[in-house]
Amino acid sequence: MNHTEIEMIERNDLENGQRATKHMKNICQRNLRIRPDRKPRKGLIPFRWISFGLTLFFPASATIAALIGADPMDSYNVVWTTPSEDSSGSMPIGNGDIGLNVWVEKSGDLLFYIGKTDAWDEHSRLLKLGRVRVRLSPNPFQANHYFRQELRLRQGEIRIVAGKTNEPVQIRVWVDANQPLVRVEAECEQEFSLSTDLELWRKEVRPLTGAEVHGVDGFTKNQPPFSYPDVIVTDRKAQLVWYHRNQLSLWPATLRHQGLEARIDSGSDPLLNRTFGGVIEGEGLSKTGPVSLRSVEPRKRFELRIPVLAEKTETVDEWLQQMDSLQGKIEAAPIEKAREEHLGWWSAFWDRSWVRIRRVDGEALVKSGFRDETREIMEGYVLQRFINACGGRGRYPIKFNGTIFTVDTVKELDPDFRRWGGCYWFQNTRLPYWPMLASGDFDLMQPLFRMYRDALDLAKARTALYHNHGGAFFPETMYFWGAYANGELGFGWERENEPLGRPANTYIRYYWSGGLELAAMMLDYYAFTRDDSFLTSTLLPIAKPVIEFYDKHYPREPTGEILFVPSQALETWRDCENPMPVVAGLRVVLSGLLSLPASRTDAGDRVAWTRLQSALPAIPVRSVDGKALLAPAENFKNRQNSENPELYAVFPYRLFGVGKPDLELARRSFMSREFKGNRGWQQDDTQAALLGLVDSARGYVSGRFSEKHPGSRFPAFWGPNFDWVPDQSHGGNGVMALQSMLLQWDGNRIFLFPAWPEEWDVDFKLRAPGNTFVEASFRNGKVSLLKVSPPERAGDVIDFSSLKNESN
């Protein structure tokens, strides 16, 4: 493909990918502000006047940040100067396991939903724990009073300042980064009263109906799933205590339906007796009803403490005892120390890595009434990482379809609803996790790896039962304990014409390649961290049986070459021979396993891996109009979705890309792809970046981060796209694509600025394999700073910005 062809198609990609959108915040509010970190004292100038004074006496330029010592993170804080209408105007905050959707309504009430990563109900729905309403008197949120709600990213908190300018109320809402605890602090120079109410909507046993049923299995073929009531504990003085306890479970019915009933006696039901809930308490508050607390008398400061707990216990009393123990630990730690450690966690998180970009002509564009896309890109990148941190350190992986921040977006549906229900789709789930490698967010990756490690025994037993051979496969769609969904999204209730083990759902019938991609991600994780404990406890225990499955499951040609039949290429091509995701995935994983130190692997395994590697078919290629293109499979038919399986050779498997052979073949295939898009799980932006297609990558990334959910106020609540709000596939793809424009790797080689636009200046710090840090600055089309640690890795860096690239 010549330069003119690429330029024409890339220009079209750029125009289609970019979508104009107005800035949602005033630049002065976002970049020029001084806020009180302590409660205001009489005689001080109100802080909003100080902010105004700065804009009056100092020029509106980047130097102001230096003059007032502003943290670069502050420019991405989300600031609202008016209350919200309802939960669609909520702002997220969390500690990795517990998440809040916080908003203030015009009526004067502060509200928040509480979510948790392991609040699985009887039918394996991920529920909210409840809603809390806080009311102050006198009401500081009434009309014509000052109001400012700010998400402070560096501090991991929401700060609300409201009321009369000379005596505002300050409210701080945060979820302790190191404890399962929600804190709400309110203070003012003048005394005020506070009341709080717990609001629950699960009050009776009722069948789910209509859209609620989507993705949720009942216990039998003809029985609908149900919602079950929460329980309020009434015998606690000065405390509101509530919980949800699973007295029924989908788990045994699922195993029986899928022929795995032998696992019931040897396994542990992950749903039965799971109990989750919380306690609301605070000094100076008394109980006025089963779900209400009121201040005994007006005070200048109140603090609400809400410890949250989810555990499997034999009895309710055991759960209550564990909650009492948790409260004791919380009360023993001074809030000042807890807050210091909380701030330390968040500061360390933001210092792990960063990306800060701006257009060279950005200020001129804005002054001329045009959009500076880099502002939206940076906002989206930073806020998506924040959402990952808020919901990514719990017991289970981030739910692609809303994480722990779903609300009643559709008014007929409660906040427990999410399209596609409680199962994990690997195709979607993986996308927030790939960019965590370059971000250095290795702790956030553990729940994903742990879920599949915990599901491995079931996967092995299922493989032996269904296919009568060794190894293990993971379904594309599975519950967190590893089983298929029972209904139409998975195994299927209608089994009359299906042999044992064959799912009725043709979208995922032979879709097992997620195990290969998981192994590839784990190999990259090991390449980045050199964590030998992870290698022996997680990577090899998963990768070995996944490879064994492919080795034993498929027939060989007379030549000895393996033939992957029956198979499919993702969800899109239902009937295939040698699909690209399988062939490319095996090539990458086998090469990665064989590159591991021989001392860390078994000699017999290495012989088997080498033998399978030599039996793999060639990368599928087809001819279209006389031009060679990567193919979805060697043979393929019966399309049923809209993915581009052929480009899995680019991402996630990176067999083709900048600095690698046959780049033109891969670029030509990308330009000729049947399905184009940059929303949800579509990954055109990352593939464009890996191929060094600068304009395509820029346009798609810009377009992705401008695609916000129109019904949500928070600027990083994407979706619903193909899934639900906030769509984590969408945000994860954007983060990964931007990183791939800046930095790529191939073995020991590190590619610097492989797809970076000349008109974007940038500073970044990202991770690379071998425990390597790369920090660089790019100014006016040239690298102005490069720091590599350890220093000996500097010789492995290739600066693509200094090379003439056909796509530029």
CA angle 468, 472, 477 (to 5 degrees): 110
Q: Are 759 and 710 in contact (CB under 8 A)?
A: no
Residue 54: pLDDT over 70:
no
Residue 366: pLDDT over 90:
no
How confident is the model at residue 781, as a pLDDT? 93
Calculate Rg over the CA atoms of the chain: 27
Confidence label for 166 from pLDDT (cuts 50, 70 and 90): confident
How confident is the model at residue 45, as a pLDDT? 28
Q: What is the token pair recorded at 110?
A: 């502060």
Full DSSP string of 60-86: SSTHHHHHHT--GGGGG-EEESS-BSS
Burial per residue of 784-802, b for 16 or more beta-carbon CB atoms within 10 angstroms, e otherwise: eeeebeeeebeebbbbbbe
Mean pLDDT, the chain, whole residue set: 91
Model pLDDT for residues 497-524, shown as the tens digit of each residue: 899 999 999 999 999 999 999 999 999 9
Residue 804: pLDDT over 70:
no
Q: Are 356 and 375 in contact (CB under 8 A)?
A: no
Model pLDDT for residues 314-335, shown as the tens digit of each residue: 999 999 999 999 999 999 999 9
Q: What percent of the chain has pLDDT over 70?
A: 91
Distance (Å, rounded) from C-alpha 778 to C-alpha 757? 10
Q: What is the token pair recorded at 21?
A: 């959108």
Q: Choose among 741, 583, 593: nearest CA to 655.
A: 583
How confident is the model at residue 17, as a pLDDT? 43
How confident is the model at residue 187, as a pLDDT? 97
Distance (Å, rounded) from C-alpha 794 to C-alpha 391? 35
- The pair phi, psi for residue 245, each rounded to 5°, is -125, 130
How confident is the model at residue 13, as a pLDDT? 44
How confident is the model at residue 802, as a pLDDT? 86
Distance (Å, rounded) from C-alpha 790 to C-alpha 797? 12
Q: Are 749 and 798 in contact (CB under 8 A)?
A: yes
Confidence label for 59 from pLDDT (cuts 50, 70 and 90): very low
Least confident of 228-232, 233-237, 308-312, 522-526: 233-237
Strands 749-752 and 797-799: parallel
Q: What is the token pair recorded at 25?
A: 């915040």
Give the other-Cβ count within 10 Å of 451's Cβ: 20
How confident is the model at residue 40, as a pLDDT? 35
How confident is the model at residue 360, as a pLDDT? 82
Once rounded to an integer, what is the mean pLDDT over residues 353-375?
87
Kindly tell me the burial class for residue 502, based on how many C-beta atoms sit within 10 Å of its own C-beta (0-12, 13-18, 19 or more): middle
Once rounded to an integer, what is the mean pLDDT over residues 749-763?
97
